[in-house]
């Protein structure tokens, strides 16, 4: 996956005062990326408001370091009137729309709730932004899954969105909705398509990275739920959060970015089995994976190598699970 449009060489720093006292609205703040994004915003003294539907005690947003630093609005992205009140009442300037049903298997079993949240939720957020007089820029989270099956070719922003399964189609449809708001109504928004995110705070143990780390820390063989051959791009979650901040800031000063989409990736595709073996090697584990269940516009690049991101992720889970450090290589 190409981290397109020359996203190289710029890192957002804590000294950046662009966010100081800026009213920011985040949907999906209890998710993996949302929690880290909110932490970054709080570190930069932004005035952060989060829309929360279901409270997640294990999320980064629920951590003690953010207690009292974020205002919460309880509700759902499908409630347009609530969104309008939240944006207008707090004079929101910048919106990060991350709320979504993100589980591919869940989408396959129940497509309707996925479409309602991912597509209708997106048009509600954008309509509320369109009506809010103070909203200046919006970043909409999509996914590289919107491309569908590219036949092994690297994803490029100019490729058509060809998602065929429910989750893929929901993200592709949400992008089309977002672009229509940019072009028809002049809403200054940009779209991100992230690779597979990993990092501390992901408590969905069915995902590859947290599931592998937990198994290894407990001395169990990690289970690979495929033949190990599917190739994916990965991105450490803190790098994704930094890219979101940078994109919003650039969008504020460059109307030409409106309606554009940006791939965010480490640009190092690995097969499932390669990723598991890399993790086990970094942890100094001799466990073998089990396949028993089956055989230039932004100037951004990741600040963490794949190995560095995985090391930090392992350390987070060691602390969260109360396990002695394994001595990461």
Output the CA torsion 77→78→79→81 (10° steps). 90
- Pull the structure tokens for residue 226: 């495929």
Strands (E) across the chain are located at: 23-27, 47-52, 70-74, 94-97, 137-143, 189-194, 196-198, 231-232, 234-236, 261-264, 270-271
289 burial class (0-12, 13-18, 19+ CB within 10 angstroms)?
buried
Q: For the stretch 263-282, what's the b/e string if a residue is b when 16 or more beta carbons lie within 10 angstroms of its beta carbon? A: bbbbbebbbbbebbbbbbeb
Q: Which helix (H) or strand (E) holds 278?
A: helix 272-282
- Pull the structure tokens for residue 37: 């994004």
DSSP state for residue 257 in the 8-state scheme: G
**DSSP, residue by residue, 62-95:** GSGGGTTTEEEEE--TT-HHHHHHHHHHTT--EE
On the CB side of 47, how many CA atoms lie within 13 Å of its CA?
A: 9
Q: Which helix (H) or strand (E) holds 174?
A: helix 166-185
- Pull the structure tokens for residue 36: 């880290």
Q: Identify the CA nearest to 214 among candidates 317, 141, 115, 120.
A: 317
236 is catalytic: no
109 burial class (0-12, 13-18, 19+ CB within 10 angstroms)?
exposed
Q: Identify the CA nearest to 139 among candidates 35, 34, 65, 13.
A: 34
Q: List the catalytic residue out of 147, 155, 167, 234.
A: 167
Instruction: Report, as residue numbers or ranges, the catalytic residues.
Output: 167
């Amino acid at each position: 996956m190409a981290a397109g449009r020359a996203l190289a060489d710029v890192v957002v720093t804590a000294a950046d005062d662009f966010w100081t006292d800026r009213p920011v609205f985040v949907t999906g703040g209890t998710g993996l990326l949302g929690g880290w994004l909110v932490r970054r915003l709080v570190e930069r003294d932004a005035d952060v408001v989060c829309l929360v539907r279901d409270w997640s005690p294990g999320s980064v947003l629920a951590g003690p370091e953010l207690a009292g630093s974020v205002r919460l609005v309880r509700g759902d992205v499908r409630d347009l009137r609530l969104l309008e009140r939240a944006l207008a009442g707090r004079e929101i300037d910048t919106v990060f729309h991350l709320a979504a049903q993100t589980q591919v298997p869940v989408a396959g079993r129940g497509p309707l709730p996925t479409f309602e949240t991912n597509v209708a939720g997106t048009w509600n957020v954008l309509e509320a932004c369109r009506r809010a007089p103070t909203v200046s820029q919006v970043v909409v989270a999509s996914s590289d899954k919107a491309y569908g099956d590219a036949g092994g070719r690297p994803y490029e922003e100019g490729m058509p969105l060809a998602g065929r399964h429910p989750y893929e189609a929901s993200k592709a449809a949400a992008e089309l909705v977002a672009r229509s708001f940019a072009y028809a109504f002049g809403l200054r928004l940009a779209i991100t398509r992230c690779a597979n995110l990993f990092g501390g705070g992901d408590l969905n143990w069915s995902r590859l990275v947290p599931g592998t780390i937990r198994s290894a820390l407990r001395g169990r063989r990690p289970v690979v739920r495929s033949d190990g051959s599917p190739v994916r791009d990965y991105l450490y979650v803190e790098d994704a959060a930094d890219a979101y901040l940078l994109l919003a800031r650039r969008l504020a000063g460059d109307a030409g970015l409106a309606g554009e989409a940006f791939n965010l990736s480490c640009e190092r595709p690995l097969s499932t089995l390669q990723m598991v073996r890399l993790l086990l090697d970094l942890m100094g584990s001799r466990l073998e994976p089990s396949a028993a269940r089956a055989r230039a516009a932004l100037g951004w690049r990741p600040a963490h190598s794949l190995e560095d991101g995985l090391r930090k992720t392992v350390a987070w889970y060691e602390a969260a699970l109360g396990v002695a450090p394994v001595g990461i290589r």
